């Protein structure tokens, strides 16, 4: 198969550690492989970033399992071309289930251009989505607490809801 990215890295990310496999294709077609494991603490991830720069990596691929990939992605964003692949599509061949082999498999798929990257919004879009989700959470929480207050009042035989339209009193100005 044709090598599209001669200097690339595959990352197998877990909650407490990251396994990185750098594949460097030499001009004569030989592949040099180097594997490192580091923790997911910021200091170690910065050391990983320095190592990837020193190795001359241009492309990095990782699986989108859970939310563990996000801090790594945020750190590497803007430094390399990053592909976040669907774990189901990058599933390794049975019998190859070790972290080092997974990282190597991801790097090899990336090297040949076989990973289709997931859509990752821009940082501004991600921030807006987070704020929107956070606001939605608090609006729902306010409704839950209002219903709970009404239930407590009903249990105490205070039929406030039959007298007023909003048991919370005056509403603040709506946005």
Helix pair angle (69-76, 42-55), 10° resolution: 50
- Structure confidence at residue 16 as a pLDDT band (50, 70, 90): very high
Phi, psi of 110 (to 5 degrees): -65, -45
H/E element, 13: strand 7-13
Phi, psi of 29 (to 5 degrees): 95, -5
- Structure confidence at residue 3 as a pLDDT band (50, 70, 90): confident
Residue 18 gets the label, from left (phi > 0), alpha (psi -120 to 50) or beta, of: beta
Q: What homologous superfamily is domain 7-111 in, according to CATH?
A: Ribonuclease H-like superfamily/Ribonuclease H (3.30.420.10)
Secondary structure of residue 71 in the 3-state scheme: helix
- Structure confidence at residue 126 as a pLDDT band (50, 70, 90): very high
Convert the pLDDT of each residue in 44-78 to its tens digit. 999 999 999 999 999 999 988 788 999 999 999 99
CATH 3.30.420.10 in the chain, residue ranges: 7-111
Of 25, 14, 34, the C-alpha closest to 113 is 25
């Amino acid at each position: 198969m044709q090598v599209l990215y001669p200097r690339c890295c595959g990352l197998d990310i877990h909650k407490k550690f990251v396994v990185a496999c750098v594949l460097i294709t030499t001009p004569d077609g030989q592949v040099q492989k180097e594997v490192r494991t580091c923790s997911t603490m910021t200091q170690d991830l910065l050391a990983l970033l320095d190592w990837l720069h020193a190795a001359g990596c241009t492309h990095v691929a990782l699986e989108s399992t859970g939310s563990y990939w996000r801090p790594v992605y945020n750190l590497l964003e803007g430094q390399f071309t990053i592909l976040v692949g669907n774990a189901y599509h990058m599933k390794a061949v049975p019998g190859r289930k070790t972290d080092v082999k997974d990282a190597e498999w991801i790097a090899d798929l990336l090297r040949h251009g076989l990973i289709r990257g997931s859509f990752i919004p821009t940082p501004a879009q991600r921030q807006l989505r987070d704020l929107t989700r956070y606001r939605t959470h608090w609006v729902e929480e306010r409704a839950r607490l209002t219903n709970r207050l009404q239930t407590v009042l009903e249990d105490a035989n205070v039929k406030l809801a039959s007298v007023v339209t909003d048991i919370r009193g005056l509403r603040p100005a709506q946005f």
